[in-house]
């Protein structure tokens, strides 16, 4: 009969009810499809399950891939994220240990002199007691409080793991953007340096013509103004290139080998083409959204623990061992001892503490619902912005390239008319300024086009989730 009751108690503890609310994924607060309009390219729906490629495939430059790999190995922000995952994994293991009985061995010894006026025999003496006990303690989780807390700890651990993927994705895109910016500023620096040399040669020719009585003093001053403007731009881009390298070094977290700092042409060959027509539910693969959902699940599990706190808490404590007045007699026959101490705690009056704790848990759940929905809305906006950039930058860069060609022809014609004495040098000056500005703008738009593609790759969730194993969440609601 006693064994039957013990078996029933164990069965109840192992399969006790759960007070965790049934989890329901919040409805997506965004449209089912991406925006349509003039700014967006018309695309056909892609096959189901298609996602962006891994970063090793998306970034085509070998130097950039090596820089990203260095950053993944040395970046301190990523290192903190990895350690944070380890910390939450340890916290989950701590909480999970509460599901099983704790077992320990306790050994003690006590010697005490008792004076004659306190001794039962009326004579002073020394009392000794030695014991060795194997003890165990276990909470019968009849109402799922411990399992709810363990489920919440598991979800928070999974959330930090997804947060680590988010940091990795952000790091990859930040390194790529910083490298592209360095390339653009390096190209602007080279353009400015070549333009300055051309301006200086023209100035020398104008000065020689002025000395020969052909060019006017105004032409000399106008030519010198071009030189000084180019010198200002040269110092600007020299500074920006140095600062770009410093920013890249901070992201990489280590010394950058010099052979990885070779400039590259800013063209579309640096990046692979992203799949077109991806469905809007691809956002569910973003690590930040997954992390937000895990935090929501954790808050849901906390409600179960708060509900269980209203019910009795039962803890079983037992011990078995040996005790003796002599150390040598610890293992003699008849020295065995045992104890069994069941404890039950039933809250009766807590001044509203338990109810307030439940309300707090429910409010935290609602807060996490709002945070989850907000993360989806942010992600949708980022992808929509990226698609708008993708649909317009190609035409903008081509138009700017055509403008550079037209401005170059304008400059060549103005120079020819000045050499023939038809126009004054002011027209040549204006044409040269426009050509320099058009070439600068072209490089700037090429950079914006490439960085917008990197931003779109990041907004779509990158390729991390395609390669990383997805941890399986234990169902805690049943």
Say which CATH number the domain at 32 has: 1.20.1600.10
| DSSP states along 289-305 | HHHHHHHHHHHHHHHHH
Q: How many domains does the chain have?
A: 1
Instruction: Note whether residue 109 is domain-resident.
Output: no
225 token code pair? 């103004």
The pLDDT value given to residue 9? 47
Neighbours of 89 (CB within 10 A): 16
Instruction: Note whether residue 363 is domain-resident.
Output: yes
Instruction: Note whether residue 124 is domain-resident.
Output: no
Instruction: Note whether residue 105 is domain-resident.
Output: no
The pLDDT value given to residue 234? 96
The pLDDT value given to residue 195? 93
Which ranges in 253-352 belong to alpha helices (H)? 287-308
Domain that holds residue 91: 11-100+143-310+349-467
Quick one: how far is CA 252 from the chain centroid? Answer: 16
Instruction: Note whether residue 5 is domain-resident.
Output: no
The pLDDT value given to residue 145? 92
The pLDDT value given to residue 357? 94
> pLDDT below 50 — which residues of the chain?
1-14, 466-478
42 token code pair? 């018309």
Up-side HSE of residue 431: CA atoms within 13 Å toward CB? 20
**pTM of the predicted model as reported, rounded to 2 decimal places:** 0.85
User: Phi/psi class of residue 37: alpha, beta or left (left: φ > 0; alpha: ψ in -120 to 50)?
Assistant: left
The pLDDT value given to residue 16? 58
Instruction: Note whether residue 218 is domain-resident.
Output: yes
The pLDDT value given to residue 3? 46
Please say whether the beta carbons of 432 and 411 come within 8 A: yes
Instruction: Note whether residue 155 is domain-resident.
Output: yes
The pLDDT value given to residue 392? 94
Distance CA 459, CA 274 (A): 12
Instruction: Note whether residue 120 is domain-resident.
Output: no
User: Phi/psi class of residue 220: alpha, beta or left (left: φ > 0; alpha: ψ in -120 to 50)?
Assistant: alpha
Distance CA 193, CA 204 (A): 17
């Amino acid at each position: 009969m006693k064994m039957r009751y013990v078996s029933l108690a164990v069965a109840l503890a192992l399969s006790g009810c759960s007070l965790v609310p049934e989890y329901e994924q919040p409805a997506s607060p965004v449209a089912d499809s991406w925006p349509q309009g003039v700014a967006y390219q018309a695309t056909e729906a892609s096959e189901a399950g298609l996602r962006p490629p891994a970063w090793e495939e998306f970034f085509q430059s070998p130097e950039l891939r090596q820089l990203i790999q260095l950053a993944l190995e040395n970046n301190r922000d990523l290192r903190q994220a990895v350690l944070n995952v380890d910390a939450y994994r340890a916290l989950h293991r701590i909480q999970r240990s509460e599901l099983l009985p704790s077992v320990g061995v306790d050994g003690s010894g006590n010697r005490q002199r008792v004076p004659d006026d306190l001794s039962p025999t009326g004579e002073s003496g020394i009392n000794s007691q030695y014991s060795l006990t194997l003890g165990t303690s276990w909470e019968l989780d009849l109402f799922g409080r411990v399992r709810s807390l363990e489920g919440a700890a598991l979800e928070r651990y999974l959330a930090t793991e997804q947060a680590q993927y988010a940091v990795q994705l952000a790091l990859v895109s930040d390194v790529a953007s910083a490298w592209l910016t360095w390339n653009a500023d390096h190209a602007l620096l080279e353009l400015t340096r070549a333009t300055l040399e051309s301006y200086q040669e023209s100035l020398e020719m104008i000065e020689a013509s002025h000395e020969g009585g052909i060019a006017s003093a105004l032409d000399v001053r106008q030519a010198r103004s071009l030189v000084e403007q180019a010198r200002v731009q040269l110092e600007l881009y020299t500074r920006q290139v140095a600062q770009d390298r410093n920013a890249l070094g901070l992201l990489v977290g280590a010394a950058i080998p010099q052979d990885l700092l070779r400039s590259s042409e800013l063209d579309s060959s640096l990046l692979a083409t992203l799949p077109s027509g991806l469905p809007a539910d691809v956002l569910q693969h973003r690590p930040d959204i997954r992390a937000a959902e895990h935090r929501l699940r954790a808050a849901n599990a906390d409600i179960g623990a708060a509900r269980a706190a209203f019910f009795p808490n039962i803890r079983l404590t037992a011990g078995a061992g040996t005790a003796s007045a002599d150390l040598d007699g610890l293992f003699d026959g008849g020295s065995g001892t045992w104890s069994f101490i069941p404890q039950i705690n039933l809250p009766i009056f807590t001044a509203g503490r338990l109810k307030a704790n439940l309300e707090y848990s429910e409010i935290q759940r609602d807060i996490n619902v709002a945070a989850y929905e907000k993360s989806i809305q942010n992600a949708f906006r980022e992808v929509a912005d990226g698609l708008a950039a993708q649909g317009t930058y190609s035409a903008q860069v081509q138009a700017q390239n055509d403008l550079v060609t037209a401005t170059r022809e304008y400059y060549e014609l103005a120079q020819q008319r000045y050499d023939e004495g038809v126009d004054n040098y002011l027209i040549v000056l204006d044409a040269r300024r426009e050509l320099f500005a058009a070439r600068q703008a072209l490089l700037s738009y090429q950079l914006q086009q490439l960085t917008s593609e990197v931003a779109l790759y990041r907004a779509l969730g990158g390729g991390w989730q395609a390669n990383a194993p997805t941890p399986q969440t234990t169902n805690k609601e049943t």
